[in-house]
Amino acid sequence: MKNDYQHMMIDYILAKVRILNKERNNRIKLIKSKSQVTKYQQEVRKKIIKSFSPFPEKTPLNLEITGIIKKKGYRIEKIIFESRPGCLVTANFYVPEKFNPPYPAVIGTCGHSMAGKAEPRYQEFCQRLVHNGFLVFIYDPFNQGERDQYYHLPKNTILRKSCTTAHNMMEKQLQLIGEFFGSWRVWDGIRALDYILTRQETDRRFLGITGNSGGGTLTCWLWAVEPRFTAAAPSCFITPFRYNLENEMPQDVEQCPPEILGQELELADFFISRIPKPLLLLGQKYDYFDIRGFKEICQELKNLYKILDAENSFDFFIGSNPHGYYSDAQRAMVSFFCRLAKKEIVCPEPPISIERPETLFATKNGNVISEGSKPIYLMIGEKAKKLEKIREKPPEKELRKQVKEIMKIPDVSNIPHYRILRPYSARKSIIARYAIETENGIWVIIKKKAKKPDYIYNFEIEKEITICLPDISSEDEILKKRKFLPLCPEYFVDVRGIGESMPEEKKNFFRPYGYDYMIDRYFFMLGKSYLGMRIYDVLSVIELFKAKGCKKINLYGHSQGAIIGLFVCLFSDSIEKVFLNNLPQSFHSLASVPSTNLPSVNFPEGILRITDIPEILKIIRKHKEVRILQR
């Protein structure tokens, strides 16, 4: 596949992130006094809470202790609790028995291990803490350990084999109802803290949290969102978002909070929000979370802790390992927590006894669904159904305005500049190519099968044309015959990230962690809509075509192109005939099924709060001739 503009999208996003980072870093450098730190913290806290809100109301935990494992010097209680109605969470509670209560307590957050709380290294850090007199509560995240949400699907289903792919699926659906999967993950941690605070043996003066990788992520988020925690030690996640983008390293969906970059925040701000509370950052020299960024964050924090006369409350550790919660980092964490809790390290190298996952199960069959927990996609579907019942039906003009706002689609204010590119040949046909600059740094590629190759260099537009929006590349579709379309020239539009600006090989486009996914998540963190800007690309092209004398425009969209085309037809009065192939029946249906392969870019944030595909089609049909093909 021809992709001469392959790096366009990464460079475009990176330029925006660098500008925001520079503005933020300049603000940090100007902080010299305690009052300036306090003022900045207040701003940061509001922005973080905005990113993770809203949270649901607290409901009864309906907690059940389903078994106890007796060990030498401690016991492990097997626990099930309800973090929200119908949502069961499995956990292990490590309780010391050779110390006098009350005990300092630590919440353990799991990284992306299918075993969840039973992952050997997570069992190890729990045992290191309990042997030194700490209560430790470690719980399974969604689709890890005993919380497989797709329990009834075949075992070889990708959603059952990969927790991160499952998380990405959940976020796509939650996005449609205007919620963030990371907030659901954080809520489980808040409810876990609620439980340990009900235990009489808990020393409320020390409430720590630690975790590695995805657990390091949740440690960062919970540390900033939940003020009851008194100390934190996140591991192997700490580096600025910018480094992950520069290194082209995608992250799990809960690691990408909405609008966080657009609000001029960086990862360090989650820690700054809690200064002078005690914090230990844990890293590894060979981690794929860039150690250069880890060191930058540490230096920034050291300076700010010093301004608040709290240098002793901050520390960091760098091991010599790759990614993981290795024993050296665990020892550093235990030492830090012991110092804060004013406890002697009585067991620096405890005997570690790794239990089989089945031994640690809190459920009978190792799955919460079999115990009556409601799968997350059903919970999302129920929320979508409620929204459908309560949402208003505004007039057409108001609905267009609302959709445009939530999809962050700017008005087309100028006729875009264009380039006339070198043509190419395919199956004895000459394909004319044009690049339309819809915004600075973005080139939308237009292709046309040339009937008169000698006349392609003036970019003349006929009186009647059809704009064709492909699924992932015009090369796949430009030579196909579409007898159902009007007999007029067809102009294929490769919007940003599609076709020639696709950042990877076509065969990898639908990978759960491909470049399209990564770029979409950075749009999300910037507070923008990747889909919205693809729609803007087409609207800009339409204005160019009209300026060049086109009087009648038809539109054909296939799969992803059909979704783009749907919204283009909602906003543009210039389209006359519409042909949408493989358009989803509704966003509601996508929110309610166990899975869909449709990429995340096609799930508009909060769309089900205001409308759905059938309602949009109803409006379009009032003004245009519409034909829906192959559902």
Q: What pLDDT digit, counting tens, does each position of 443-487 carry?
A: 999 999 998 888 889 999 999 999 999 999 999 899 998 889 999
Per-residue pLDDT band at 365 (split at 50, 70, 90): very high
- Asked whether the beta carbons of 142 and 164 are under 8 A apart, the reply is no
Apex 80 CA angle, 79 and 85, nearest 5 = 155
The residues with which 69 forms a beta bridge, in sequence order, are 76
* Residue 153 CA: distances (Å) to CA of 158, 160, 311, 511, 595: 10, 8, 52, 20, 10
> What is residue 346's predicted lDDT score, i.e. its pLDDT?
92
Give start and end residues of each alpha helix (H) in 455-575: 515-525, 530-547, 560-571
156-166 pLDDT, tens digit each: 888 999 999 99
Per the prediction, the chain carries an average pLDDT of: 96
Task: Measure the CA–CA gap between 93 and 84, rounded to whole angstroms.
Answer: 20
Radius of gyration, alpha carbons of the chain: 27
Check: pTM over 0.75? Answer yes or no: yes
Q: How far apart are CA 96 and CA 25, in angstroms?
A: 44
Mean pLDDT score, 70-94:
98
Residues paired with 282 in a beta bridge: 235, 317
| CATH number listed for the domain at residues 396-629 | 3.40.50.1820
Q: Are 93 and 77 in contact (CB under 8 A)?
A: yes
Indicate the angle between helix axes 34-52 and 181-196, nearest 10 degrees.
110
CATH code of domain 50-384: 3.40.50.1820
Give me the pLDDT at residue 28, please: 97
| Whether the domain at 50-384 and the domain at 396-629 fall into the same CATH topology | yes
DSSP letters along 420-455, please?
EEEEEEETTEEEEEEEEEEETTEEEEEEEEESSGGG
- 336's enclosing H/E stretch is helix 327-341
In this predicted structure, what is the pLDDT of residue 222?
98
Give the closest residue to 141 by CA, choosing from 198, 197, 94, 83.
83
Closest CA to 539 of 503, 504, 575: 575
365 CB-near residues (< 8 Å, 6+ apart): 371
Q: What is the mean pLDDT of residues 398-425?
A: 96
Handedness of CA 535, 541, 544, 546 (dihedral sign): negative
The mean per-residue pLDDT over the stretch 599-628 comes to: 97
DSSP state of 65: E
Q: pLDDT band for position 1 (50/70/90)? A: low
Please report the pLDDT score of residue 631 as a whole number: 63
pLDDT digits (tens, 9 = 90+) for 541-567: 999 999 999 999 999 999 999 999 999
Between the CA of residue 77 and those of 26, 180, 287, 331, what are the distances in Å?
49, 31, 33, 24
Residue whose structure tokens are 């292990």: 92
How much is the pLDDT for 466? 97
What was the pLDDT predicted at 155?
A: 86
User: What mean pLDDT do residues 515-524 have?
Assistant: 97
| DSSP 8-state code for residue 255 | G
Paired sense of beta strands 74-84 and 314-322, if any? unpaired
- For the beta carbon of residue 3, count every other beta carbon within 10 angstroms: 20
Residue found under tokens 């054909």 = 556
Q: In this prediction, what percent of the chain has a pLDDT beyond 90?
A: 93
- First-to-last C-alpha distance (Å) of the chain: 27
Phi and psi dihedrals of 506, rounded to 5?
-60, -35
Q: Where are the domains of the chain?
A: 50-384, 396-629
- Residue 317 confidence (pLDDT) above 80: yes
DSSP string over 7-46: THHHHHHHHHHHHHHHHHHHHHHT--SHHHHHHHHHHHHH
CA dihedral over 119, 252, 320, 231, signed as positive or negative: negative
Q: What is the pLDDT of residues 320-347, one digit of tens each?
A: 999 999 999 999 999 999 999 999 999 9
Tokens (6 digits) for 441: 């740094």
Reading the block at residue 72, the tokens are 């030498």
Burial of 242 (0-12, 13-18, 19+ CB in 10 A): buried
Q: Measuring CA to CA, which residue among 69, 114, 307, 104 is closest to residue 197?
A: 104
Q: How far is CA 345 from the centre of its chain?
A: 39
Q: Do 568 and 538 contact (CB within 8 A), yes or no?
A: yes
